[in-house]
Amino acid sequence: MEYSSKKLEKQWQEYWAKNRSFEPSEDFTKKKKYILSMFPFPSGRLHMGHVRNYTLSDAFARYYRQQGFNVLHPIGFDSFGMPAENAAIKNGSHPKTWTYSNIDYMKGEFKSLGFSFSKERELATSDELYTKFEQGFIIDMYEKGLLYRKKGFLNWCPSCNTVLANEQVIDGTCWRCDTSVVKKDMNQYYFKITHYGDELLSDLSKLEGGWPKQVLTMQENWIGKSNGLEFRFSFDEASLGRLNNKFDGFDVFTTRPDTIYGVSYAAIAPEHEIVSYMIQNSLLDDSVREQIESMKNASSIERQKEKSGVALNLHVVHPLTKKSVPVWVANFVLMDYGSGAVMAVPAHDERDFDFAQKYDLPIHAVIKPFNSESDDTKAFTEIGELFNSESFNGLNSKDAQAKIIEHFEMLKIGTRKINFKLKDWGVSRQRYWGAPIPFVHCDDCGLVMEKKENLPIALPEDIVITGEGNPLDKHPTWKHCKCPSCGKDALRETDTMDTFVESSWYFLRFCASPKNWEDEAFSKEQIAYWMGVDHYIGGIEHAILHLLYARFFTKVFRDLGYISFDEPFERLL
Ligand SMILES: [Zn+2]
Ligand SMILES: [Zn+2]
């Protein structure tokens, strides 16, 4: 018999739709499976990567239905984001029109591919209803101290007048207009993901066996927990004078306290407050100042490639030997890691070694391989046996690390410290097509949360998008509002949220019965039944960002009392 795809598939697609074949049951006594594919960005057309993922989840869903499970297999659209805005700039289309017409088209593609998705739970994260609940969560997180606003150094394109994500800086220039990107010190909202650093790390063990090992390792490295010593380098008398006694020194962190006797210089970031002070007070020669400015204007990726630096003509005192140590500005020291200052041990760190060779700085070896002599033509970065280290000579690195930290603590000149590579998550974007951050700036009250009954704070539809500046800020009326606290004239926050916020909780929204969607984001009972996701299917490119953020939100929602589990995704494919 001939297989007439056009006729047969249409017939079955109609049957499935009429019989609600893929809608999950609300009978929570049944055994369940929650099968989820990472939802797509509505770019316009499905690509083969999508088809691969949805075919996998569809096979799981159909298999478990046949086994008698109550199966939740939903789909939605991660529909905020820059591509919609860029299409608007290019073609003059409205981001909303562009997005929702793409969604319609892609829904048709899902249907003709025969995927067994729940129709009734389809959603787009740019739906105002979704924004409403998300803004509510943002307010809850702010009240809990998990969201804060502070100044930070961000990538800024002076031509586009917007902040760029690190991924949007290509060889130091703007991905869109090729202008050199600069670092700009500006206000930004941050989620306090570092508050969960320890738990995000230790709970990875709960995912072993369910998640690919590679993803667990990538998350572990990204969180980057390290134990070490923090101490303060104090300036010598001459340097104190040069700095008008404004600074007595600066803090550094090291994971290798066993190499402390090998310190031959200290390096600070070009953005360090001491450097800024020297520039502002004309304490540096023009040529030095210019070199520092050009370091600041390079992207962090560039700064890791070619090492460069300049001496500040300042000296600190070695905390143990009391010898004088020169202070350099070095481009590889980043302000957003640790304190923005490091002790440099060229004999035992490759980066410090290259820098010392380039600028002819001394190299003092203090660790040698067990049972052999040291080789001074390159950095010896492994653990070994200490020498040239006063009373610590002969110890192995591990013992010496513990003993040297104890020694610092006894002398009260330093402390044991745990450091994370993980940084707080900067979530504000100067873009139109995103969820508005629900805050108001009032001259009298400062930063004020919007009242929950006023949510959603929706985007205005009459918007002009040119690609320059923040469209919401330039809108003639949208930002003008009344202060929710005192009622006086105030200004709405015009930054919108990073779209990774929406994808951090959509899997919880799918658990909610659509008949309650207007009233609540989700219910505890429904969540308790459906979560965790039994099979989560998506690409390895999400190994860090999305999967880490979703784990973070899960822990936050648990601590806010909305849910009662620690991890969202049991098995990841
Ligand atoms: Zn640009
Ligand atoms: Zn006010």
Query: Distance from CA of residue 437 to its chain's centroid?
Result: 17
Is 172 domain-assigned? yes
The CA-CA-CA angle for residues 233, 238, 240, to 5°, reads 55
Q: Strand, helix or coil at 258?
A: helix
Which of the ligands is closest to the CA of residue 176?
Answer: 1
DSSP string of 144-186, one letter each residue: TT-EEEEEEEEEEETTTTEEE-GGGEETTEETTT-PBPEEEEE
How far is residue 89 from each of residues 85, 94, 98, 385, measured CA to CA in Å?
6, 9, 12, 62
Which CATH number belongs to the domain containing residue 482 in this structure?
A: 2.170.220
Shared domain check, 350 and 318: yes
Residues 6+ apart with CB under 8 A from 542: 38
Q: 523: closest CA among 515, 356, 189, 549?
A: 515
> Could you tell me the distance, in angstroms and rounded to a whole number, from the CA of residue 185 to the centre of ligand 2?
26
> Could you tell me the distance, in angstroms and rounded to a whole number, from the CA of residue 468 to the centre of ligand 1?
9
Tokens of 20: 């609600």
Shared domain check, 238 and 181: no
Query: Distance from CA of residue 19 to its chain's centroid?
Result: 43
In contact, 509 and 523? CB cutoff 8 Å:
no
Residue 87 to residue 125: CA distance in whole angstroms = 18
Q: 217: closest CA among 568, 547, 552?
A: 547
- Among the candidates 419, 446, 463, a domain finishes at 419
> Could you tell me the distance, in angstroms and rounded to a whole number, from the CA of residue 472 to the centre of ligand 1?
18
> Could you tell me the distance, in angstroms and rounded to a whole number, from the CA of residue 225 to the centre of ligand 1?
35
> Could you tell me the distance, in angstroms and rounded to a whole number, from the CA of residue 149 to the centre of ligand 2?
18
In contact, 531 and 510? CB cutoff 8 Å:
no
Is 108 domain-assigned? yes
- Model pLDDT for residues 124-177, shown as the tens digit of each residue: 999 999 999 999 999 999 999 999 999 887 888 887 777 776 657 777 788 778
Which of the ligands is closest to the CA of residue 441?
Answer: 2
Residue 480 to residue 473: CA distance in whole angstroms = 10
What percent of the residues of the chain are helix, what percent strand, and what percent coil, each to the nearest 5? Answer: 40, 20, 40
Shared domain check, 262 and 362: yes
Could you tell me which residues are beta bridge partners of residue 257? none
Q: What is the pLDDT of residue 85?
A: 87
> Could you tell me the distance, in angstroms and rounded to a whole number, from the CA of residue 280 to the centre of ligand 1?
28
> Could you tell me the distance, in angstroms and rounded to a whole number, from the CA of residue 175 to the centre of ligand 1?
7
Q: What is the pLDDT of residue 99?
A: 96
Domains identified in the chain, total number: 3
Tokens of 265: 């210089």
Is 174 domain-assigned? yes
Which of the ligands is closest to the CA of residue 168?
Answer: 1
> Could you tell me the distance, in angstroms and rounded to a whole number, from the CA of residue 293 to the centre of ligand 1?
20
Residues 6+ apart with CB under 8 A from 190: 147, 148, 149, 150, 152, 424, 425, 426, 427
Over the range 452-466, which residues count as b (16 or more CB within 10 Å of their CB) and which as e? Answer: eeebbbebeeebebe
Q: Strand, helix or coil at 123?
A: strand
> Could you tell me the distance, in angstroms and rounded to a whole number, from the CA of residue 471 to the centre of ligand 1?
15
Shared domain check, 253 and 339: yes
Shared domain check, 368 and 248: yes
Is 352 domain-assigned? yes
What is the interface pTM, i.e. ipTM, of the complex?
0.80
Residue 273, Cβ density class (10 Å: 0-12 exposed, 13-18 middle, ≥19 buried): middle
Pairing of strands 147-157, 182-191: antiparallel
> Could you tell me the distance, in angstroms and rounded to a whole number, from the CA of residue 177 to the centre of ligand 1?
4
> Could you tell me the distance, in angstroms and rounded to a whole number, from the CA of residue 165 to the centre of ligand 1?
12
Q: 73: closest CA among 86, 87, 57?
A: 57
DSSP string of 215-249, one letter each residue: HHHHHHHHH-EEEEEEEEEEEPHHHHHHTTTS--E
> Could you tell me the distance, in angstroms and rounded to a whole number, from the CA of residue 152 to the centre of ligand 1?
20
Shared domain check, 413 and 325: yes
In contact, 206 and 316? CB cutoff 8 Å:
no
Amino acid identity at 540: I
> Could you tell me the distance, in angstroms and rounded to a whole number, from the CA of residue 482 to the centre of ligand 2?
8
Is 154 domain-assigned? yes
Shared domain check, 245 and 319: yes
Query: Distance from CA of residue 557 to its chain's centroid?
Result: 18
> Could you tell me the distance, in angstroms and rounded to a whole number, from the CA of residue 183 to the centre of ligand 1?
13
Shared domain check, 513 and 471: no
Shared domain check, 511 and 490: no
Shared domain check, 403 and 294: yes
Which CATH number belongs to the domain containing residue 108 in this structure?
A: 3.40.50.620
Is 275 domain-assigned? yes
Which of the ligands is closest to the CA of residue 161?
Answer: 1
Q: What is the largest CA-CA distance in the chain?
A: 95
Amino acid identity at 395: L
Q: 32: closest CA among 24, 22, 23?
A: 24
Shared domain check, 233 and 382: yes
> Could you tell me the distance, in angstroms and rounded to a whole number, from the CA of residue 178 to the centre of ligand 1?
6
Q: What is the pLDDT of residue 473?
A: 93
Is 552 domain-assigned? no
Residue 146, Cβ density class (10 Å: 0-12 exposed, 13-18 middle, ≥19 buried): buried
Q: 497: closest CA among 163, 184, 181?
A: 163
Per residue of the chain (573 residues), what is the pLDDT tens digit? 788 888 899 999 999 999 999 999 999 999 999 999 999 999 989 999 999 999 999 999 999 999 999 999 999 999 998 888 888 888 888 999 999 999 999 999 999 999 999 999 999 999 999 999 999 999 999 999 999 999 887 888 887 777 776 657 777 788 778 888 888 888 999 999 999 999 999 999 999 999 999 999 999 998 999 999 999 999 999 999 999 999 999 999 999 999 999 999 999 999 999 999 999 999 999 999 999 998 987 766 677 778 899 999 999 999 999 999 999 999 999 887 778 999 999 999 999 999 999 999 999 999 999 988 878 889 999 999 999 999 999 999 999 999 999 999 999 999 999 988 888 888 888 889 999 999 999 999 999 999 999 999 999 999 988 877 789 999 999 999 999 999 999 999 999 999 999 999 999 999 999 999 999 999 999 999 999 999 999 977 787 889 999 999 999 999 999 999 999 999 999
- Among the candidates 419, 447, 473, a domain finishes at 419
> Could you tell me the distance, in angstroms and rounded to a whole number, from the CA of residue 442 to the centre of ligand 2?
5
> Could you tell me the distance, in angstroms and rounded to a whole number, from the CA of residue 489 to the centre of ligand 2?
8
> Could you tell me the distance, in angstroms and rounded to a whole number, from the CA of residue 380 to the centre of ligand 2?
60
- HSE-up of residue 349 (Cα within 13 Å, Cβ side): 21
> Could you tell me the distance, in angstroms and rounded to a whole number, from the CA of residue 490 to the centre of ligand 2?
7
Which CATH number belongs to the domain containing residue 380 in this structure?
A: 3.90.740.10
Q: What is the pLDDT of residue 82?
A: 83
Which of the ligands is closest to the CA of residue 487?
Answer: 2
In contact, 125 and 61? CB cutoff 8 Å:
no
Q: Strand, helix or coil at 439?
A: strand
Is 293 domain-assigned? yes
- HSE-up of residue 296 (Cα within 13 Å, Cβ side): 19
Which of the ligands is closest to the CA of residue 177?
Answer: 1
Which of the ligands is closest to the CA of residue 491?
Answer: 2
Q: What is the pLDDT of residue 369?
A: 94
Q: What is the pLDDT of residue 166?
A: 64
Residues 6+ apart with CB under 8 A from 160: 174, 176, 177, 179, 467, 468
Q: What is the pLDDT of residue 167?
A: 58
- Among the candidates 387, 419, 451, a domain finishes at 419
In contact, 332 and 351? CB cutoff 8 Å:
yes
The CA-CA-CA angle for residues 192, 195, 201, to 5°, reads 120
Domain that holds residue 170: 135-192+425-497
Q: What is the pLDDT of residue 311?
A: 96
In contact, 192 and 145? CB cutoff 8 Å:
yes
> Could you tell me the distance, in angstroms and rounded to a whole number, from the CA of residue 168 to the centre of ligand 1?
10
> Could you tell me the distance, in angstroms and rounded to a whole number, from the CA of residue 170 to the centre of ligand 1?
11
> Could you tell me the distance, in angstroms and rounded to a whole number, from the CA of residue 98 to the centre of ligand 1?
23
Shared domain check, 447 and 370: no
In contact, 301 and 169? CB cutoff 8 Å:
yes
> Could you tell me the distance, in angstroms and rounded to a whole number, from the CA of residue 499 to the centre of ligand 2?
29
